A = this chain, B = another copy of it.
Amino acid sequence: MNIVVQKFGGTSVASLERMQQVMKKVLAARAHGNKLVVVLSAMSGETNKLIALANQFSEEPDPAELDVLVTTGEQISVALFAMLLKDAGVKARSLLGYQVPIETDSDFCRARIVNIDTDRIRAMLEEYDVLVMAGFQGCDCHGRITTLGRGGSDTSGVAIAAALKADTCEIYTDVDGVYTTDPNICSQARKLSRVTYDEMLEMASMGAKVLQIRSVEFAKKYNVPVHVRSTFSDEPGTMVIQEDKSMEAVLVSGIAYDKDQARVTVYDVIDQPGVAAAIFGPLAEDGILVDMIIQNTSREGRTDMTFTIPRADLKKTMRILEGTKVQIGAKDIQYDTGVCKVSVIGVGMRNHSGVAAKAFAALSKENVNILMISTSEIKITCLIEEKYMALAVHTLHEAFELGKNGTNAC
């Protein structure tokens, strides 16, 4: 049997009308003789509503019980959608995490999948034509409900596709693919026909909300081609795939940005082994994601340490730093929220020099001052003043000719 895995996000199942749209996609794939596993998210807004309810009951809700609570969102989606399918004469049933089972570890609220019983799914697909599976949820070895973390339904879709060795995992969403940059910022943005897992990971880490990071990691690990496309059109979207030779020709795939940033500088700390650990250890313990880190060259045995964090964590970060201030001998701690990150992303960089220089030159020509720089194999990130964000995105998009049809064009 040929098995197709389709995953639909929260906006795609937000109402009866939206679900009927989803049904068209499912019935079309079914009409081609495929068996389907359809993975659904909670109706948009539901998960947030449930979390708000939990916060009303507890300042720090028990993670295991929070998972019991929030998984009701997907449970509602799959029940309703299975009803629609049955009314349409399709042999279908809903499947909850523990019924598959999607076995995970016991790390509630951010569990990792350890096993999926494909024999059971294949047996069910003999009996049913469509299995409507609740995304985001699994169960641990004791049968307790777990969740895979925010956006985990993407991961559910990719994981089930990997386990069933499906040709593709189709991720249907409210955008029609992955773009060279945010079309809301830059009207020259162009839909990519293909993008590599690594590029997608860099884009996702920069806040591009098309795919959840862990699902891309999963897809990369198991080499599952992911087709990101729109629920509301029949156009092909973007294939997220392993790098192949033809893609090397493309220098840069996209420009990403992240406004949710704050810059923190700790002044005049003692420059000795262990001082970085003393600063960043407590932040890591509290789950604060420190990104770009710059340590100035030492003057008279002292140095400044600058780094970026998500803006939402600023208050917590400052509180923690005030606690370690004496220990690290810092003279002052300052922060700046008027900053943002802009990144140039492309696997082609691996084999080409001069990409960074070209980016810096383009920004400089528009008088955009670069505050910090960090680079990876396939990404160059600049921290700039927030007011230059749109200008920087436009400038870089044009500098690398992303608006023009290249080999990566649709």
Interface residues of A (CB under 8 A from B): 16, 19, 50, 53-54, 56-59, 61-62, 64-66, 68-69, 71-72, 75-76, 78-80, 82-84, 86-87, 93-94, 96, 98-99, 143-145
Contacts and interface: CB of A to CB of B under 8 A. Distances in A.
A52 to B, nearest CB: 12
Given A54-B80, A68-B94, A72-B72, 16 more contacts: A16-B56, A16-B57, A50-B76, A53-B76, A54-B83, A57-B80, A57-B83, A57-B84, A58-B83, A62-B82, A68-B75, A69-B75, A69-B83, A72-B76, A98-B98, A99-B144
What copy number does this chain have within its complex?
2
Given A16-B57, A54-B83, A143-B99, A69 B62 contact: no
B53 A65 contact: no
Interface of A is mostly: helix
Given A83-B61, A99-B144, A78 B72 contact: no
Given A143-B99, A144-B99, A65 B87 contact: no
A18 to B, nearest CB: 12
A65 B16 CA distance: 16
Contact of A69 (B61, B69, B79, B84): B79
Nearest to A60: B87
A250 to B, nearest CB: 45
A62 B86 contact: yes
The listed residue with most B CB atoms (<10 A of its CB), out of A50, A56, A94, A96, is A94
